[in-house]
């Protein structure tokens, strides 16, 4: 019996999809790539999975796409367990870092290709309509007759995304699609991709190791470390309230300052001459080794007595400067306005509003806010 055409199975007015991973574990021999992953991606959400190399990002995408089976756990699309569905039936589009285009075909032929499969049965008129619309959205109309081996990296990636868009999949899965592009193009495509997603209103799962991409594009970010999901939240939640020191280090450029210290007589002490105001002590912070976290933009730096630090380095970033301060054995980064005129070896005093501190348990790395 012929398989039911995808176009008939998923009526075109139902394009969105809700994805849930229930306790998914994936092992390759003795190696555990994913452990007890619980993940929920809402309809129409732009969800970014952020993780370092080997964290399990691609494995997660491949499991959702049906290219890999979980060792344990379930994948649900719109509430339905899709364990028995093959990749084609799941109707998800995977966009990869390497553009999988046909080099001898024109852009137009590349865009038409996914719709010409027998499984889809898309009428010719509709193929032309969808290709024209995708080309307009991606601003590649002028390239339609060009062979894809004559395109720049950015243009090729647009065509790859176009091949996903014309299919009208239920879900877009994107595996570091911008990482092979140069910085300027990456920035431009970040904004475009976000706009495209908002216009289509469809579910996007985008994986990256680039925290700037995650922060600027995601409605929600999931931070993956060593196959485990550490924290899920909006970019603002993740930035302002990291669950542990790993997440604190993963977002922000420069990252959060993390300095080890402890509480002595109710007063937080990081190092000699580096005492935090008494108000900085958090509820539940007993006398134990702690790590104090402060974002560089929350460090205030002034010239004059009492001297508490020396300027170790000054980086000029146009709108702002990033100072590295030497405080005893510790280095502290501070973001200050560009007009600040400080030079290496200048003596300064620094401080911060205690409300801006995040305090972590040194042994577990967990934020006391999340632990309480
Ligand atoms: N088919 C496989 N066989 C054996 N090990 C695998 C296989 N696929 C992935 N792994 C391992 O599982 C872990 C997670 O891999 P995965 O590709 O999901 O990571 P990633 O976060 O996408 O990394 P990257 O950013 O480098 O692509 C890695 O340690 C990897 O070596």
Predicted pLDDT of residue 145: 96
Ligand 1 centroid to residue 33 C-alpha, Å:
7
- The parent domain of residue 91 ranges over 6-240
77 and 213 both lie in a single domain: yes
Predicted pLDDT of residue 13: 45
Number of domains in the chain: 2
Task: With respect to residue 248, please indicate whether it lies within any of the assigned structural domains.
Answer: no
Protein residue whose Cα sits closest to atom 18 of ligand 1? 56
For the chain, the residue count is: 372
Q: Answer yes or no: is the C-beta of 31 below 6 A from any ligand 1 atom.
A: yes
123 and 206 both lie in a single domain: yes
Protein residue whose Cα sits closest to atom 16 of ligand 1? 56
- Read off the pLDDT of residues 110-125 as tens digits, 9 standing for 90 and up: 999 989 877 778 899 9
204 and 71 both lie in a single domain: yes
Residue keyed to tokens 């301060």 = 325
Predicted pLDDT of residue 286: 62
Q: Answer yes or no: is the C-beta of 53 below 6 A from any ligand 1 atom.
A: yes
Listed in sequence order, the residues at least 6 apart from 276 whose beta carbon sits closer than 8 Å to its beta carbon are 261, 267, 268, 269, 270, 292, 354, 357
205 and 270 both lie in a single domain: no
Task: With respect to residue 245, please indicate whether it lies within any of the assigned structural domains.
Answer: no
CA 227 to chain centre: 15
89 and 210 both lie in a single domain: yes
- Read off the pLDDT of residues 190-202 as tens digits, 9 standing for 90 and up: 888 898 898 888 8
Q: Answer yes or no: is the C-beta of 57 below 6 A from any ligand 1 atom.
A: yes
Ligand 1 centroid to residue 317 C-alpha, Å:
36
Strands 203-208 and 31-41 come out as unpaired
Of 178, 210, 240, the residue that ends a domain is 240
Predicted pLDDT of residue 269: 63
Strands laid side by side in the 31-41 sheet: 31-41, 19-28, 72-77, 80-81
Task: With respect to residue 230, please indicate whether it lies within any of the assigned structural domains.
Answer: yes
| CA–CA dist 242, 238 (Å, integer) | 5
Protein residue whose Cα sits closest to atom 31 of ligand 1? 54
| CA–CA dist 93, 177 (Å, integer) | 12
Listed in sequence order, the residues at least 6 apart from 336 whose beta carbon sits closer than 8 Å to its beta carbon are 301, 320, 321, 322, 323, 342
282 and 320 both lie in a single domain: yes
Predicted pLDDT of residue 274: 58
Find the CATH number of the domain harbouring 150: 3.40.50.300
46 and 103 both lie in a single domain: yes
Ligand 1 centroid to residue 326 C-alpha, Å:
39
Mean pLDDT in order along the chain per 10 residues (372 residues): 39 67 97 97 96 96 96 95 90 84 92 84 91 89 93 88 90 91 84 88 94 95 97 96 96 91 66 54 64 91 82 93 90 92 90 83 88 55
261 and 236 both lie in a single domain: no
Predicted pLDDT of residue 12: 42
Ligand 1 centroid to residue 289 C-alpha, Å:
35
209 and 272 both lie in a single domain: no
| CA–CA dist 244, 242 (Å, integer) | 6
Q: Answer yes or no: is the C-beta of 50 below 6 A from any ligand 1 atom.
A: no
73-91 burial, b if ≥16 CB within 10 A, otherwise e? bebebeeeebeeeeeebbb
| CA–CA dist 243, 237 (Å, integer) | 10
Protein residue whose Cα sits closest to atom 25 of ligand 1? 53
Query: Where are any strands of DSSP class E within 89-148?
Result: 92-95
Of 209, 240, 271, the residue that ends a domain is 240
Q: Answer yes or no: is the C-beta of 140 below 6 A from any ligand 1 atom.
A: no
SS3 132: helix
29 and 69 both lie in a single domain: yes
DSSP line for 202-224: -EEEEEES-HHHHHHH-SEEEEE
Helical segments of 114-244, H only: 124-137, 153-166, 183-200, 211-217, 235-240
Cβ neighbour number for residue 130 with a 10 Å cutoff: 20
In angstroms, what CA-CA distances link 164 with 74, 116, 179, 256, 338?
Answer: 25, 14, 18, 37, 43
Task: With respect to residue 205, please indicate whether it lies within any of the assigned structural domains.
Answer: yes
Q: Answer yes or no: is the C-beta of 365 below 6 A from any ligand 1 atom.
A: no
């Amino acid at each position: 019996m012929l398989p039911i055409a995808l176009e008939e199975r998923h009526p075109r007015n139902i394009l969105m999809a809700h994805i849930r991973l229930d306790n998914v574990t994936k092992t390759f021999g003795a190696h555990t790539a994913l452990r007890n992953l619980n993940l929920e991606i809402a309809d129409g959400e732009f969800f970014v999975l952020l993780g370092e190399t080997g964290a399990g990002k691609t494995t997660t995408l491949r499991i959702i796409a049906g290219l890999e089976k979980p060792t344990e756990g379930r994948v649900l699309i719109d509430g339905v367990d899709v364990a028995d569905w093959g990749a084609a039936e799941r109707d998800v589009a995977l966009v990869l870092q390497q553009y999988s285009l046909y080099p001898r075909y024109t852009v137009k032929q590349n865009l038409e290709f996914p719709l010409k499969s027998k499984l889809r049965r898309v009428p010719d008129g509709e193929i032309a309509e969808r290709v024209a619309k995708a080309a307009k959205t991606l601003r590649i109309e002028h390239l339609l007759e060009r062979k894809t081996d004559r395109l720049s990296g950015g243009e090729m990636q647009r065509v790859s995304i176009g091949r996903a868009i014309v299919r009208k999949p239920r879900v877009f899965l994107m595996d570091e699609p911008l990482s092979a592009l140069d910085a300027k193009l990456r920035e431009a495509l970040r904004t475009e991709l976000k706009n495209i997603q908002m216009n289509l209103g469809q579910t996007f799962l985008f994986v990256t190791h680039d925290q700037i991409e995650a922060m600027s594009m995601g409605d929600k970010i999931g931070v993956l470390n060593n196959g485990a999901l550490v924290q899920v939240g909006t970019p603002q939640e993740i930035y302002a309230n990291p669950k542990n020191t790993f997440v604190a280090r993963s977002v922000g450029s420069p990252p959060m300052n993390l300095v080890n210290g402890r509480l002595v007589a109710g007063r937080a002490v990081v190092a000699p001459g580096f005492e935090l105001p008494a108000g900085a002590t958090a509820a539940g912070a007993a006398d134990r080794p702690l790590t104090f976290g402060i974002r560089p933009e929350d460090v205030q730096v002034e010239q004059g007595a009492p001297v508490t630090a020396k300027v170790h380095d000054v980086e000029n970033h146009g709108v702002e400067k990033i100072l590295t301060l030497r405080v005893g054995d510790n280095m502290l980064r501070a973001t200050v306005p560009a007009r600040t005129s400080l030079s290496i070896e200048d003596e300064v005093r620094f401080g911060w509003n205690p409300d801006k501190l995040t305090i972590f348990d040194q042994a577990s790395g967990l934020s006391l806010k999340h632990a309480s």
